Every structure is written in C-alpha cells, then in structure tokens.
Amino acid sequence: MTGKTLYDKIWDAHVAHEAEDGTCLLYIDRHLVHEVTSPQAFEGLRMAGRKVRAPEKTIAVPDHNVPTTLDREEGIKNEESRIQVEALDTNAKEFGINYYPVDDIRQGIVHIVGPEQGWTLPGMTVVCGDSHTATHGAFGALAHGIGTSEVEHVLATQTLIQKKSKNMKVEITGKLSPGVTAKDITLAVIGKTGTAGGTGYVIEYCGEAIRDLSMEGRMTVCNMAIEGGARAGLIAPDETTFEYVKGRPHAPKGAQWEAALNWWKTLYTDEDAVFDKVVTLKGEDIAPVVTWGTSPEDVLPITGVVPSPEDFTGGKVDAARRSLEYMGLKPGTPLSEVAIDAVFIGSCTNGRIEDLRAAAEIVKGKKIAEGVRGMVVPGSGLVRAQAEEEGLAEIFEAAGFEWRLAGCSMCLAMNPDQLAPGERCASTSNRNFEGRQGFKGRTHLMSPAMAAAAAINGKLTDVREVM
C-alpha cells in the first residue's frame, strides 16, 4: 500500500459515510459565516423549524459590506448591503452562534478572524460560504468555500456532501531573494499553472521556501489556491504553526493541547505517497511580480514589459487583447512606467500584521506621490490595534495614507471603498477582474511591499529599488 498525502489523511479522518459512487458525507469542524452568503441559509433553517446543529463550531462576522470609515452604520453602501449586515446580526443572536459584531475589536475579515481567534486548527475541516476559505489551509486544515445551499446544509447537520479531489503538489525549492514575498510565490505559481491549473485538485504547498514562511505568509499563499482553480490549498503543520496557534482564545489548552499536538504531528504527506500532479518552482527564480491584465494568471516580473496579444496562443490571444484594452495598457511599455491613481493595502490575502509591517518598512519617512490616493485597511480590529501599538499607523498617516477600520474594503466593490471609473490601483488583494474594485476600475495585484513602493513613486515600482 502506498502512503497517504496530508489531504488523504485529513479526508479519511472526516468521512462519516461513503456512498457507492464515492460521494462522501464529511464531518465539518468549523463553519465560518459572513453576511453575504448566509441570509438565505438561515432563512431556510427558520422556515423548516431547524436549529444550528453545532452553534459552538459556527462563527459569524460581518466583513464585505461594512464601511471602513467611522460611520460604520450610516455609511453602508446600499439597502441590500444593510439588509445583509442586519440579517447576520439577527441570525447570529437568534441561532446562538459565535459572533463578532461590527463594534467588537475582534471583528474583521472572516479569514483573518478565524485563525486569529484560534478557531482554525491543524487537521480540521473548515468551510465558509466564501471562496477564499482556502486561506485556512495554511494550518494544515482542509478548508474551502461552499455555496449558500451548502451553508444551510452545514448549519443544519454539521456535515457536507463532497467528492474527493485529486492530489497536487506545488513545491517551491530553495530560498527567496530579497524583496520577494509569499504574495510573489502565489502569483508566480498561478502565472505558471494558469487559473485552471488546479481544477479538480487540492494543492499541497511544500519545499524549503514554503517552510521558511511565517503563518501570515503561508495564509497568503493558500488564500490564492482558489485563483489557481484548486479546491483548496494546504501546508503541513510544523513548529511555526504550533507556535502561532498556542495560547489563542479557542485553541486547546493543557492536556487537550498535548493530545492535539500529538495528532497534529502526524499530519504530513508520507514519503511514498503519490501525487496526481506536481509543479515545481525554484525560490531563486521568483521575482517581485505584478499582474498586467484582468485575470490573476496575467503575472509578470516587475522588470518586464506589457505583453502583446501576439505573445499568446489560442483563446488567450483575444483574452489578452481585451484585458489590455480594459486596462488601458500599450504593449511594450515597461511595467515600471505604468502610473497609478490609488493604492490599496489590505484584504484576506494581505491584511495581516506582517503585511502592514512590510508596507510600513518601505513607506517610513516618505510621502505618497502627489495625486495618488492610498488606503491601509487592517484585516481585523486586533491587527489594527497591534499596528497602532507598533507605530505603523503613524507611519502610514504621516505618509498620507488613510488608516481605516477592518473589513474587505476595496478588495471588492460591495462597500463604499471603490475606484472611480478608469482609476488604476496597486492592490494587495487577490482578484483583478473587470470592475472588481469599482466600475471600470483597473487593478494590478502585488505584494504589500510592492504596493507601498508604488504609492511612493506614483507608478508600478520594483520594490528592490526603494529597499
């Protein structure tokens, strides 16, 4: 018998029932909930007279629609947004689930709050009605997004009907060069595999460059597994993981901690396990990158030039033409000459303390370029508080950045933080789709340090030049 992958091990530990065609009923350890995809699910329960099966394993927090300015309530973008936020408040209280309302310092983006509060632990199954649930895979948890009808199913039964995915390994060997971060890894991987490269797979990220990452960096890598088409991303837990988890409010304590640790230490891919697909990148070959188009796979080193549609083949030729037109970019222009209007530092990809530290390090003692609007949005109230304590908020404000309250903010156009038509943004988020950050807004994805460098120079910038 061949060995098991990490994914196999977590999967096997959670199968409650397997049907003849291989469809399984999986036990769910943590169910995270936000305001956008849960109202109908709770309404379904209410209509059927059902309860939440495991309220103690269900955690709710509003994040997408909430304004990040002080006018949290009055500033909600539209009626639909208000209804969603209010519905979450009513539902969380009525169904007795864990809840971090907007005025709680622990409120923030659901994928930042879960790990921060110790809800996300190695070996768990974690779901949420949100595609970036993949973030939690950084802990060696099987974590992925589900649809609203599945949200209702999990609320009612604490289980999910699933078919197993295939195993894919993404190995990043060696060391990263100065100025290269977890964001560059995850973008470079998608640049190589494409947005469909992971379709049908759960990815395990491994190799020295992944091992060397902090938990924050690992979350950034796993966050974008979904942009590469994968069901989920995983990183085997190790001392870095255990150290991060230990002492968090909902992490196990005492004898329970020891027992958990013993199990967590078995959560790795066996040496003789076989992957269905393997992709390898050398850490040394990864450069600071930016996206030039409207798909996360449109990735190039910042030292490159805007490509031409002729550089591509097949369907990508037309896609590139459309992307370039939408983005208002001329082929052959050096990427480092592309002027920007706005900078957004935040999101579940890069809204953690380490991200803010990296950006502040570049910004310190400098000013945002004239005419550029900069916004720093911590991923949670606790990240915000810590950044203030460390003096990062002062650095950002002195440079001319707006220092905001926690939320999804300008990652997507569901709240008042948006680009104006035609505006170009250097953004630390994970999606550069048309209109993602506002109607006709243009998005270039990059790391926090790169976004900070762009803010200072008023154009896309190689961070290594300002380090």
Is 136 a binding residue for ligand IPM by CB under 6 A? The answer is no
Is 405 a binding residue for ligand SF4 by CB under 6 A? The answer is no
What is the footprint of ligand SF4 within residues 59-88 (CB under 6 A)? 63-64
**Which of ligand SF4, ligand IPM, none lies near 36, with the C-beta cut-off 5 to 8 A by kind?**
ligand IPM
Q: Is 222 annotated as a binding residue?
A: no
Q: Which of 10, 28, 30, 37 binds ligand IPM (CB under 6 A)?
A: 37
Q: Which of 412, 419, 450, 455 binds ligand SF4 (CB under 6 A)?
A: 412
Please tell me the count of residues contacting ligand SF4 according to CB under 6 A: 13
Determine the interface stretch with ligand IPM among 18-26, 71-79, 127-135, 299-307 (rule: CB under 6 A): 127-135
Q: Please identify, using beta-carbon distances, which residue of 64 and 459 lies nearer to ligand SF4.
A: 64
Determine the interface stretch with ligand IPM among 126-134, 255-263, 274-282, 361-369 (rule: CB under 6 A): 126-134
Q: Please identify, using beta-carbon distances, which residue of 4 and 144 lies nearer to ligand SF4.
A: 144
Query: What are the structure tokens assigned to 340, written together?
Result: 């920007």
Per-position x/- string for 105-144, each x denoting binding to ligand SF4 as judged by CB under 6 A, each - no binding: ----x-x------------------x-x------------
Determine the interface stretch with ligand IPM among 129-137, 195-203, 259-267, 420-428 (rule: CB under 6 A): 129-137
**Which of ligand SF4, ligand IPM, none lies near 429, with the C-beta cut-off 5 to 8 A by kind?**
ligand SF4
Is 412 a binding residue for ligand IPM by CB under 6 A? The answer is yes
Strand order from edge to edge, sheet including 166-173: 232-234, 201-206, 166-173, 277-282
Is 215 a binding residue for ligand SF4 by CB under 6 A? The answer is no
Q: Which of 130, 150, 184, 298 binds ligand IPM (CB under 6 A)?
A: 130
Q: Please identify, using beta-carbon distances, which residue of 62 and 217 lies nearer to ligand IPM.
A: 62
Q: Is 348 annotated as a binding residue?
A: yes
Q: Is 411 annotated as a binding residue?
A: yes
Quote the CA–CA distance of 365 and 258 in Å, as a whole number: 46
* Binding-site ranges for ligand IPM (CB under 6 A): 36-37, 64, 130-132, 145, 412
In the complex, the residues that contact ligand SF4 under the rule CB under 6 A are 63-64, 109, 111, 130, 132, 347-348, 408, 411-412, 429-430
- Residue ranges of the binding site for [4Fe-4S] cluster: 348, 408, 411
